[in-house]
């Protein structure tokens, strides 16, 4: 009898627990009642998107924008004469299957929300962003990148790869829609139809526009990863990344903008903590070019004001002192000073021991006619030289600057040595024999347009 009672109780308890688990896993439904003071057109937008795109609506409903009564129209409303008006959206007001599709709700809408639109409420942030390397990355890319300037990749390869992070130059097609060649895109340097540069949603994804999301390293890791700029991997290896992995769930990610404080809201820094967030005497900035004292991504490491494709307008000493002030919120002065001493020494070794001799050898091969200068990447030594600075050389420098020893050595200088040795061996063989380098006859997809964008560089 006791066994039977136990079984019955167990079954009942199991059913109760199963029911509890089932209930806990259900989507929490909320009845959003739009009773704030807003125009009927704004209410129509929200009600229609609530029905058509519940993901968009729920994102907005959880945002600070919603709490501040900022609706779709505050960001998307445009003038009838604007070049980025969505002509297809007007068809939404001719529907008969929804009460929100009537002509009385008709308003001109721009599909793309640009930094210029955001500047109506966030003028300082947009101004800072506009002078950063992020916002101007398409111009920088066209000034330095052989893939583009030599047409060594196809237009579709660029769209799927390079332009996804760097940004496209938006265009409208003959149907009044954004062209499929340039959209969708949220690249940091996107050129918008209103003339503004960039996309705030690169980091604050729509329609939540979360400050917490932008503060986390994963936001930066969308683009800053891989063999040539592995900042997210470097961060993960570093002590900073280890602390984030251990204690990140306890950080106060939702602290108000400008108030996020080391030691109070977070224990270890993220990318944003060092490069953008306010700390110590430093104000929050959306110019990621600030606080930098070296151009670590450049072939030859130079000071930011000496970086010819996009010279910084401030002095590197001033910017280094800003970063030191950030570092000193958690580290002693000697720690910070010695870290920069080591970083400077690493950069000097990379410049003098690896890059300059390899560049001199490359130039010598071109001058002797042993390498063909008309294209790039179609000869093995060009690829080797490129990866020496663009892959291993960057990893050595960035790994040191962000305190990731495995990237500084094994993924960095260790690989630099092998690349350098192979490059020099092949180069000396060509010089000794007078033999010209083999040109890859079947180099695939070298079909990209080499015309620099007129919107940035003027007509050729």
Share of the chain above pLDDT 90, in %: 88
Distances (CA, A) of 232 to 222, 241, 415: 9, 9, 20
- What are the tokens at 52? 């058509």
Share of the chain above pLDDT 70, in %: 92
- Residue 279, pLDDT > 70, answer yes
CA-to-CA distance for 116 and 122, rounded, in angstroms? Answer: 9
Q: Alpha-carbon Rg of the chain, whole angstroms? A: 27
Q: How confident is the model at residue 12 (pLDDT cuts 50, 70, 90)?
A: very low
DSSP conformation letters of 241-301: HHHHHHHGGGS-TTPPTT---BTTTBSS--HHHHHTS-BTTBPP-S-TTTT-SSBTTSSS-
Number of Cα atoms under 13 Å in the Cβ half of residue 211: 17
Report pLDDT digits (tens) over 138-172.
Answer: 999 999 999 999 999 999 999 999 999 999 999 99
Give me the mean pLDDT over the 308-329 stretch: 97
CA-to-CA distance for 206 and 208, rounded, in angstroms? Answer: 5
pLDDT at 131: 96
CA-to-CA distance for 183 and 190, rounded, in angstroms? Answer: 10
pLDDT at 29: 46
CA-to-CA distance for 70 and 142, rounded, in angstroms? Answer: 38
pLDDT at 36: 55
Grouping H, G, I as helix, E, B as strand and the rest as coil, residue 337 is helix
pLDDT at 203: 97
| Residue 118, burial from CB neighbour count under 10 angstroms (0-12, 13-18, 19+) | buried
- Whether omega before 428 lies within 30 degrees of 0, making that bond cis, reads no
Higher pLDDT, 37 or 432: 432
- Residue 347, pLDDT > 90, answer yes
CA-to-CA distance for 200 and 208, rounded, in angstroms? Answer: 12
CA-to-CA distance for 185 and 171, rounded, in angstroms? Answer: 12
DSSP conformation letters of 423-444: HHHHHHHHHHH-PPPPB-TT-T
Average pLDDT, the chain: 92
| Helix or strand (DSSP H, E) at 249 | none
Question: Do residues 98 and 174 touch, judged by C-beta distance below 8 A?
Answer: no
CA-to-CA distance for 228 and 146, rounded, in angstroms? Answer: 15
pLDDT at 236: 98
Asked whether the CA dihedral 321, 326, 332, 338 is positive or negative, the reply is negative
Question: Do residues 391 and 420 touch, judged by C-beta distance below 8 A?
Answer: no
Q: Name the DSSP class of 265.
A: T
| Helix or strand (DSSP H, E) at 49 | helix 40-52
Q: Which of 21-35, 114-128, 265-279, 392-406 has the lowest mean pLDDT?
A: 21-35
Question: Do residues 97 and 255 touch, judged by C-beta distance below 8 A?
Answer: no
Measured over all CA atoms, what is the biggest interatomic distance in the chain, rounded to whole angstroms?
Answer: 100
- What are the tokens at 59? 């994102």
CA-to-CA distance for 88 and 93, rounded, in angstroms? Answer: 10
Question: Do residues 71 and 42 touch, judged by C-beta distance below 8 A?
Answer: yes
pLDDT at 31: 53
CA-to-CA distance for 147 and 228, rounded, in angstroms? Answer: 14
- Residue 374, pLDDT > 50, answer yes
How many CB atoms sit inside 10 A of residue 361's CB? 20
Give me the mean pLDDT over the 51-74 stretch: 95
- What are the tokens at 300? 């030859």
Report pLDDT digits (tens) over 438-458.
Answer: 999 999 999 999 999 999 999
Tell me which residue has tokens 């299957």. Answer: 97
CA-to-CA distance for 268 and 246, rounded, in angstroms? Answer: 10
The residues, any chain, with a CB within 8 Å of residue 298's CB and separated by 6 or more, are 144, 307
The H-assigned helical ranges of 248-332 are 271-275, 316-327
Question: Do residues 48 and 95 touch, judged by C-beta distance below 8 A?
Answer: no
CA-to-CA distance for 370 and 89, rounded, in angstroms? Answer: 58
- What are the tokens at 69? 């009564």
- Residue 10, pLDDT > 90, answer no
Report pLDDT digits (tens) over 19-48.
Answer: 444 444 344 444 555 555 789 999 999 999
- Residue 99, pLDDT > 80, answer yes
pLDDT at 26: 46
- What are the tokens at 122? 């966030």
Question: Do residues 197 and 115 touch, judged by C-beta distance below 8 A?
Answer: yes
| Residue 68, burial from CB neighbour count under 10 angstroms (0-12, 13-18, 19+) | exposed
Number of Cα atoms under 13 Å in the Cβ half of residue 317: 0
- Residue 13, pLDDT > 50, answer no
């Amino acid at each position: 009898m006791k066994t039977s009672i136990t079984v019955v109780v167990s079954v009942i308890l199991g059913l109760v627990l199963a029911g509890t688990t089932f209930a806990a896993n259900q989507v929490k439904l909320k009845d959003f009642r739009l009773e704030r003071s807003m125009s009927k057109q704004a209410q129509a937008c929200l009600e229609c998107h609530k029905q058509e795109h519940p993901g968009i609506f729920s994102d907005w409903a959880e945002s600070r924008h919603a709490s501040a009564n900022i609706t779709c129209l505050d960001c998307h409303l445009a003038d009838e004469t604007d070049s980025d008006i969505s002509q297809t959206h007007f068809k939404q007001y001719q529907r008969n299957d929804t009460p929100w599709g009537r002509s009385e709700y008709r308003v001109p809408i721009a599909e793309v929300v640009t930094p210029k639109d955001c500047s109506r409420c966030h003028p300082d942030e947009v101004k800072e962003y506009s002078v950063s390397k992020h916002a101007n990355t398409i111009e920088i890319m066209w000034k330095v990148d052989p893939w583009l300037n030599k047409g060594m990749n196809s237009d579709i390869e660029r769209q799927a790869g390079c332009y996804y992070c760097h940004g496209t130059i938006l265009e409208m097609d003959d149907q009044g829609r954004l062209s499929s060649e340039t959209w969708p895109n949220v690249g940091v340097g996107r050129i918008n139809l209103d003339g503004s540069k960039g996309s705030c949603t690169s980091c604050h994804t729509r329609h939540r526009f979360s400050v917490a999301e932008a503060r986390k390293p994963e936001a930066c890791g969308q683009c800053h990863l891989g063999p040539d700029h592995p900042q997210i991997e470097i961060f993960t290896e570093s002590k900073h990344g280890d602390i984030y992995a251990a204690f990140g769930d306890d950080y106060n990610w939702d602290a108000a903008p400008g108030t996020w404080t080391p030691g109070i809201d977070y224990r270890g820094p993220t990318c944003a903590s060092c490069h953008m967030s306010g700390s110590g005497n430093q104000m929050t900035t959306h110019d990621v070019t600030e606080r930098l004292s070296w151009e670590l991504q450049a072939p030859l490491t130079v000071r930011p004001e000496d970086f010819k494709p996009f010279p910084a307008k401030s002095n590197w000493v001033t910017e280094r002192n800003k970063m030191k002030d950030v570092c000193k919120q958690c580290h002693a002065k000697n720690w910070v000073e010695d870290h920069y001493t080591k970083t400077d020494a690493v950069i000097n070794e990379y410049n003098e021991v690896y890059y300059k001799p390899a560049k001199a050898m490359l130039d010598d091969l071109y001058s002797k006619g042993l390498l063909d200068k008309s294209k790039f990447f179609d000869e093995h030594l060009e690829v080797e030289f490129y990866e020496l600075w663009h892959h291993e050389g960057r990893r050595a420098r960035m790994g040191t600057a962000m305190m990731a020893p495995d990237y500084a050595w094994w993924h960095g200088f260790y690989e630099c040595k092998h690349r350098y040795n192979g490059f020099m061996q092949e180069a000396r063989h060509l010089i000794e024999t007078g033999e010209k380098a083999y040109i890859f006859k079947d180099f695939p997809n070298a079909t990209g347009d080499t015309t620099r964008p007129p919107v940035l560089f003027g007509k050729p």
